[in-house]
């Protein structure tokens, strides 16, 4: 599957269910994206 940070919740759930992506990997990619953008956006106080 493609980058999980751009998937809908439905597609993310399907990928986890069918084993094509790991839930831990999906969360790690989301946290990496937050880390890379939050300095610019200031959207998160605590993650």
More confident residue, 4 or 2: 4
Q: What is the rounded CA–CA span in Å between residue 8 and residue 15?
A: 11
24 in a domain, yes or no?
yes
More confident residue, 32 or 1: 32
30 in a domain, yes or no?
yes
Predicted confidence at residue 19, as pLDDT, reads: 96
pLDDT tens string 12-47: 999 999 999 999 999 998 888 888 888 898 888 787
Task: Decide: residue 27, CB within 10 A, 0-12 exposed, 13-18 middle, 19+ buried.
Answer: exposed
Domain, as residue range, for 17: 4-41
Predicted confidence at residue 4, as pLDDT, reads: 75
27 in a domain, yes or no?
yes
User: How many distinct structural domains can be found in the chain?
Assistant: 1
pLDDT > 70? residue 2: no
47 in a domain, yes or no?
no
23 in a domain, yes or no?
yes
29 in a domain, yes or no?
yes
Q: CA torsion angle for 15, 21, 23, 25 (degrees, to 10)?
A: -150
46 in a domain, yes or no?
no
Tokens 């610019």 — which residue? 40
């Amino acid at each position: 599957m493609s980058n999980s940070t751009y998937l809908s919740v439905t597609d993310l759930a399907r990928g986890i269910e069918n084993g094509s992506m790991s839930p831990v990997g999906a969360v790690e990619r989301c946290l990496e994206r937050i880390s890379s953008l939050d300095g610019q956006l200031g959207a998160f106080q605590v993650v």
